[in-house]
Structure 1
């Protein structure tokens, strides 16, 4: 059965609103390459500033799906991300299609037994965030883009080449069309073609792990709680869904991941129930399973004249804290703010005065988050008894120090001060 809440595809012409055709070249102020969650958010955030904006995306978002079907890919949206989506006019649609709040989080160590619990009520907050399918987020943002008269969508479309000049960049699409822009933004993911074409290098390493994703049915109610157990082979997370199921993200070594993927559904369900220590009773996998290789990656440069990287094109992070898309949304909000400020002050939107503001605001925070995830992954992957005892003691002690727990929760929720305007709380 089709989901009645999902609209039918809207018609749009790739050469329509906002473009000026000069000698068969279509000219824009901003071209966003990649119309996924982060790219679509950036384009929507730049709309209404008197700019001509284009989005180049290879695939249209999924518009409808069977009722009761849950996508394998979900995100844990922070309060900051929720505020951004609200201000972009997409949160209402996200809520309509399905956003499940989680109100507490329990983290424990498989070897040492240490445990810490976070609860929204201790902060005076209604929840710690929402679990939302990625396709829901992208569709809500895409529909918002389709109503923006200053945004032109090129989809399906891919780029074949990028040539940069002093004051503009030329993009050649695979179908032969040529686009020109004052600013090109790479939002085309971890394996960014734009980043490669301009020669921006990355640092990082392979985690030698794969993240297995699936939807599971627990015997007991998940209590609107996100559960995470650190195993020697990698962390297991169970994220609560609205219908009582959980979205599972199990990061495991290559050897263990291969074993898990080769299991029958019944064998996998038993292994999963054991790995979760039966916290929600027996777990039964429903539907397919998939696995994604994990690596840490950070671009050496976020910007060049007329060019910026956002989201996974700039940084890729381990999913153990669920911060990937939240960092990307903050990138988009910060870059949109820098573009707006440049316009207000008569500066070139593709100039380094504007783009360096974005890079300074985001690079440090992203680097700190990548380093933190690396540290957690290494510490909890160490099976040496003294290390296991020390980290479990640290978890248990932190659980008893309420002010320290509140700092962690505030940071994860996006309640700290250093936020771009779109992510800040509404003024009373």
Structure 2
């Protein structure tokens, strides 16, 4: 009996030791090291540079274009059933996402809706980077049969037949062509879409195709001008960094809890999050394969390897005839990394305002941030390509602290309220 009790005591001791190791937090340092402080400062929103110039969009910062794009963004007439607008999936009240695993417009897509706040700082768009500008990205959903289900001819006709749209367009881009001649401009026509629309497009003169595509491209440029107004605002983390300017003590500020501070220490250190989620928007805007499983019943996505091919062949890319950029300004399109190394790689999203953007990953495969952290801790083998992440030896308390830190990145948008509401009509 004494031997059994002794053995039981050892088991209990080991169990309590394990639980203590899993759950007892490590003490915070009195001050951040010079290296830690530099990393923390680099993440603050105060370090965000001015919006990059969009050389491909001559009206990117024209207030009239932003006003026009604002109207278009909320207009359900830009859909084949009259029910879908850009704001259907990019809801201002939900961080410009929709809370769904994958977007639902006319039909159901295969990708999670990406948030728009700060999107103007990106170099590539969509999860696989198939678009190289904010304005060209805005065009793709309009002609996707699962999203807006329009043809570019219908978009052009809407602009031409709506008095205020026509006025806004002509102030920015010059006189609209006359589209009434149905023998030249059929009701529905596009190089994409159903067979009838494609056949109608093929029968059009090349010069007429160009006129319609130019109107279509300019609609994208107006939408992009509006979306450049959507910017993240300071969060608790940014207030903490500001407080560090007044006191170098780690815990003097009340902006973040001790658990969040411990999570910050992990974020820039042991957890290695900062390797990809760096800079004021907490993203390197690059592409990585982290072995996220496909949604059930869906084949693994080729990711960036396919996205770059699509970007280079896109008629609306930086080098295309609808871009306002000089070819010399499009070197990223030429030298971007692709090929087999990028199979399965998806774009690194911003971590700001994560609370508004669940579920997570490119097809909404992961429901909660706790599960996201577990995914990176495990770093399983990728189904296609190779997983760039390495397993993390995080204790239970450390995972909880890391999760707490992510809440410190939530903040109101630094955008005037009028841009977040449907425009008066």
* TM-score, length of structure 2 as denominator length: 0.23
Flag the structure with higher strand content. 1
Higher relative contact order (CA 8 A, sep 6+): 2
Structure with greater Cα Rg: 2
* TM-score, length of structure 1 as denominator length: 0.23
